[in-house]
Amino acid sequence: MPKDETSIDALWHMYEGMLVSRMLDEKCFQDFAEWYPAFGEEAVTIGAFGSLVDGDFAVPHYRGSMGVFWLRGMSLEEIIGGLLFRTSSVSLGRLSGLHGGDFEKQILPSVTNVLGPNVSSGTGLAMAERIRGGSGVTVIAFGDGTAALGTLHESVNMAKIYKLPILFVCQNNQYSISSRSSKFHSWDSVASWAAGYNLPSSQIDGNDIMAVRAAANEGIDRARAGGGPTLVDALTFRMGGHLSTDKAQYQSDEERVKWESKDPIKRFEEYLQNSRQISVTEISQVRERVQRNVLETWNKVLASEAVSLANQ
């Protein structure tokens, strides 16, 4: 997509990416008993990974990864094929859609739901790129729960020592399953931890895609110029439970109402209307088109032949 975030094409691309992520999440949440949605976190994923170019590596967090797959050029048929174990997927139906990265599109497969390995693996990718003398940048996303694990601290330390071309992005939704992160972390923010490793770091409004994109661009540009790693602590909120069956009764009504008013998709729609004079009708047309594409592709893939385990 265009690097100039002020262009209409770039704005529409951001909007469509958030819609694809949200609508696929809604369908999975409805159909699967165990699904880990990213409702409310779309500005972080689409904003942080949207400025990568050919030759860069995407290492997404499992929550919201489908939007990253779409950004990197995977078709809806490939993405949904992974969710439904169909041969249209990158793995020919052999790997869960959550883990369906594609090395050809330079998306690291998240081969496990265990938190943390994507951070160290992504750091290894950046080290390899540094050794081979390439210009690629690696963007690595992780949650605030993962931030407490040793693998993040080891990776951040290594990235700083070797000036690796990495943008670390904390998808800080403030919850680790049902526990508030503030109750088991010793930091004021993940950014303050990163500062302890002498990394340029900042905490930003993770529900403002323009703020996320600006912070990501700064870190990516620094990495590409040889300035080493950056960490962005994107403060957002998980609008709902940890997975489909979690009713999130530990979240207060007041907290949910507060963050629902900050829904990143609604905020971006308001930005398009107020700052770019894009009409409600135009926005509705794009939303309806994306919804139609997602549902039609889902039904098409669902009707296709499932993978036979007997033939594996």
Phi, psi (deg, nearest 5) at residue 157: -60, -45
Residue range 268-289, pLDDT digits in tens: 999 999 999 999 999 999 999 9
Domain ranges, ordered by start, for the chain: 8-304
Kindly state which CATH superfamily the domain 8-304 is placed in.
Answer: Thiamin diphosphate (ThDP)-binding fold, Pyr/PP domains (3.40.50.970)
Section 182-196 average pLDDT: 81
The separation between the first and the last C-alpha atoms of the chain, rounded to the nearest angstrom, is: 38
Single-letter code of the amino acid located at 187: W
Helix runs in 133-246, H state only? 150-161, 190-196, 209-224
Q: Are 240 and 179 in contact (CB under 8 A)?
A: no
Give the pLDDT confidence of 215-272 residue by residue, as tens digits.
Answer: 999 999 999 999 999 999 999 988 877 777 778 777 888 888 888 899 999 999 999 9
Classify 170 as helix, strand or coil.
Answer: strand
Nearest to 79 by CA among 52, 62, 98: 98
pLDDT in tens, 13-55: 999 999 999 999 999 999 998 888 889 999 999 999 998 999 9
User: pLDDT value at position 80?
Assistant: 94
CB 120 within 8 A of CB 151: yes
The CB density around residue 274, as the number of other CB atoms within 10 Å, is 9
Q: How far is CA 231 from CA 118, 128, 165, 178, 209, in A?
A: 16, 20, 11, 25, 17
pLDDT in tens, 68-122: 999 999 999 999 999 998 988 888 877 777 677 888 899 997 666 677 889 999 9
pTM of the model: 0.92
Pick the closest to residue 174 from 234, 236, 217 (CA basis). 236
